[in-house]
A and B are shown apart, each in its own frame.
Chain A
Amino acid sequence: MFDLSGKTALVTGASGGIGKEIARALHAQGARVAISGTRREALDALAAELGSRVEMLPCDLSDAQAVEALVPASEAALGGLDILVSNAGVTRDNLFMRMKDEEWDNVIAINLTASFRLARACVKSMMRKRFGRIIGITSVVGVVGNAGQGNYAASKAGMIGMFKSLASEVASRNVTVNCVAPGFIESPMTDALNEKQRAAVLTTVPMGRLGTGAEIAASVVYLASSEASYVTGQTLHVNGGMAMI
């Protein structure tokens, strides 16, 4: 089950906590993986750890031209692209009434517009091959909202609607498009919480703990696999029961 031997995958945000685990998991199932991100050192370390079947493609997703070039570069490096995991994301939290246009634009550009451009760039060859997996890493916040994260929530909700639309368009070509929506996951993003915030967060999670990147990665592996061939347009919530949707 869930064998990805011979498949090729691009993971954006692979220098981050969850992205790294996604790259590891896809690689462990046999895929050839292109890892993209902004932190060169983290990518170097991950590439060294994975050893073979890995390509490193640093990319700044706020740069439109760099985004446009990323899929062709991955296809060239891997000899095709079967799986896109659009994972990169940033937060620029602020109260709604104080949010600057620049904070809004930056989060929408990286989280939503870059996902759009990447998916647009890879869908043509996936249609031609009659196989493709596009997986967006969204967030529980995109569905339930969160104070101070109007921009982030909008970008993540946008991703869900965008990918449902794409899923409808390409379903007949055996290209599936889904989202994984993590809840609170151990990562640099949640490390920024202080103890009090952390305790408050945990009262909202029936499982009483944060999730791990590996638990997100396992869902990605499932959606990327041939076994998930009849699953499209869905959002898989991985949140310890925090929101049951």
Chain B
Amino acid sequence: MSDVAERVKKIVIEHLGVDADKVVDNANFIEDLGADSLDTVELVMAFEEEFSVEIPDDAAETIVTVGDAVNFLEKATAA
């Protein structure tokens, strides 16, 4: 697992209070991990802080699974 993936998963586990084994790449924040829409906003805020990047609203809307977040942040931090 990449460093980015590990950090993303740690944030998701802490923030949503879910078991680590549920936080897999294709886990949907809302459908699989029990997040509400406000949780997803807060997750994006937490990612922004952790990775010191800005995630614009239209990009944030495309981040619906753990894998989406990892992909986005890998690209954003590689740039």
Min C-beta distance of B49 to chain A, whole Å: 8
Chain B interface residue count, Cβ-Cβ cutoff 8 angstroms: 4
Where chain B touches its partner, the secondary structure class is: helix
CA distance A169 to B38 in the complex (A): 7
Count how many chain A residues have C-beta atoms less than 8 Å from C-beta atoms of the other chain: 7
B27-51: which residues lie under 8 A (CB-CB) from chain A? 38, 41-42, 45
- Interface assignment of A100: CB less than 8 Å from any CB of chain B: no
Task: Give the secondary structure class of A's interface.
Answer: helix
CB-CB < 8 A to A124: which residues of B? 45
How many A-B pairs have beta carbons closer than 8 Å: the answer is 11
Give the distance in Å from the alpha carbon of A182 to the alpha carbon of B66 in the complex.
48
- Per the bound structure, the CA–CA distance linking A15 and B64 in Å amounts to 46
Chain B residues, Cβ within 8 Å of A169: 38
B60 CB to nearest A CB, Å: 12
Chain B residue nearest in CB terms to A171:
B38
Which chain A residues border B42 with CB–CB below 8 Å?
Answer: 127-128
Q: Does A172 contact B (CB under 8 A)?
A: yes
A33 within 8 A of B: no
Q: Chain A contacts of B38 at CB under 8 A? A: 127, 169-170, 172-173
Please name all residues of chain B whose beta carbon is closer than 8 Å to the beta carbon of A127 when the two chains form the complex. Answer: 38, 41-42, 45
Further contacts, 8 of them, CB under 8 A, given A124-B45, A127-B45, A128-B42: A127-B38, A127-B41, A127-B42, A128-B45, A169-B38, A170-B38, A172-B38, A173-B38
B residues with CB within 8 A of A: 38, 41-42, 45
